[in-house]
């Protein structure tokens, strides 16, 4: 029969699956062929991942690698006994065994360490860490996008803010309602970047310019509601929003001559209240 023995193994990694399969078959690695049926996924921070699945196929008789033949040593010519007796040939004395030459000790080799390529001029290591971390998270989420990072214009030597721009198609799921998903993604990314850089990092993640558009919308909304409050003389509250968006409203109306602002309520329903100053 030409059917070959096959075995499918599910394990966290291909190496572990191969080791388990070889142990069950009792065969060496060169006696089987390995086919990765499912490469699996790691998931986000180890959650929601899928293990790998491989198929081991035992080689048939025709596919077993041939063992190298043992070389046959040529016999040295031996003087005939008759020639020795007749004196026509003198036996050669057996060569003395030569002492085996001891190999010269080689200098201990140091493990090779891949030298990191120098960063391009004007590019910072922290920027590279931020771009690499965001790209890895997007890959784990199976989102295809382009990532670029830069320092914000208001950054100083003492406090640097890294702004990360993500651009691509179908990224609405990364923003979520009122940017809740984006804010959670930004929080996780800032922790990972800070751990990699071994320092606290102020990280702002934006998707397709969403934050800048949202900031302008909030500024227009704040001014419009402030005008209504001035006309009616009654306080007015905005819809619940995250702290970053409430801050935009507070800053926009900070210098307003007729109204003041304050945040009320508990998270996640905390909102901005616009109050007339002469009330």
Q: What's the pLDDT tens digit per position in 143-185? A: 989 999 999 876 666 678 899 999 998 888 898 887 889 999 9
Residue from 187, 191, 194, 185 nearest 126 by CA: 194
In this prediction, residue 3 carries a pLDDT of 59
Per DSSP, the chain holds a count of helices (H) and strands (E) of 7, 9
Residue from 129, 127, 134, 157 nearest 207 by CA: 134
In this prediction, residue 157 carries a pLDDT of 65
- Decide: 11 and 23 in contact? Cβ < 8 Å: no
In this prediction, residue 24 carries a pLDDT of 81
- Has residue 250 got a pLDDT over 60? yes
Name the least confident of 76-90, 109-123, 193-207. Answer: 109-123
- Has residue 32 got a pLDDT over 80? yes
In the block, tokens 């006994």 appear at 81
**If you average pLDDT over residues 104-121, what whole number do you get?**
41
Q: How confident is the model at residue 115 (pLDDT cuts 50, 70, 90)?
A: very low
Of the two residues 181 and 17, the one the predictor is more confident about is 181
Q: Tell me the percentage of the chain whose pLDDT exceeds 90.
A: 37
In this prediction, residue 114 carries a pLDDT of 35
Of the two residues 69 and 276, the one the predictor is more confident about is 276
- Has residue 48 got a pLDDT over 80? no
Cis before 268 (ω within 30) = yes
In this prediction, residue 164 carries a pLDDT of 93
Cα dihedral 182, 185, 191, 194, rounded to 10, equals -70
- The number of beta carbons lying within 10 Å of the beta carbon of residue 137 is 20
In this prediction, residue 29 carries a pLDDT of 83
**If you average pLDDT over residues 83-96, what whole number do you get?**
49
pLDDT, averaged across the chain: 77
- Decide: 253 and 234 in contact? Cβ < 8 Å: no
- Has residue 129 got a pLDDT over 70? yes
Which residue(s) pair with 148 in the sheet?
A: 165
Name the least confident of 15-24, 91-100, 161-170. Answer: 91-100
* Dist. CA 192–CA 196, nearest whole Å: 6
- Has residue 249 got a pLDDT over 70? yes
Residue from 66, 63, 69, 36 nearest 52 by CA: 36
In this prediction, residue 42 carries a pLDDT of 62
In this prediction, residue 87 carries a pLDDT of 46
- Decide: 31 and 64 in contact? Cβ < 8 Å: yes
* Dist. CA 93–CA 105, nearest whole Å: 35
């Amino acid at each position: 029969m030409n059917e070959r023995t096959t075995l499918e193994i599910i394990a966290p990694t291909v190496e572990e699956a191969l080791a388990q399969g070889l142990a069950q078959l009792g065969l060496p690695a060169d006696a089987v062929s390995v086919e990765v049926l499912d490469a699996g996924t790691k998931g986000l921070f180890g959650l929601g991942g899928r293990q790998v699945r491989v198929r081991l196929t035992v080689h048939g008789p025709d596919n077993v690698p041939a063992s190298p033949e043992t070389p046959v040593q040529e016999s040295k010519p031996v003087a005939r006994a008759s020639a020795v007796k007749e004196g026509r040939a003198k036996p050669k004395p057996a060569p003395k065994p030569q002492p085996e030459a001891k190999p010269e000790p080689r200098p201990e080799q140091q493990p090779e360490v891949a030298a990191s390529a120098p960063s391009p001029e004007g590019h910072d290591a922290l920027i590279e860490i931020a771009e690499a971390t965001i790209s890895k998270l997007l890959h784990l989420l199976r989102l295809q996008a382009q990532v670029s990072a830069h320092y914000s214009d208001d950054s100083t030597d003492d406090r640097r803010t890294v702004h990360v721009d993500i651009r691509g198609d179908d990224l609405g799921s990364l923003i979520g309602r009122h940017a809740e998903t984006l804010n959670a993604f930004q929080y996780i990314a800032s922790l990972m970047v800070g751990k990699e850089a071994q320092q606290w990092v102020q990280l702002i993640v934006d998707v397709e310019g969403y934050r800048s558009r949202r900031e302008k919308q909030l500024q227009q909304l704040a001014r419009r509601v402030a005008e209504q409050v001035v006309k009616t003389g009654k306080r007015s509250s905005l819809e619940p929003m995250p702290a970053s968006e409430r801050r935009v409203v507070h800053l926009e109306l900070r210098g307003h001559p007729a109204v003041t602002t304050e945040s009320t309520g508990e998270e996640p329903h905390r909102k901005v209240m616009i109050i007339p100053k002469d009330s």
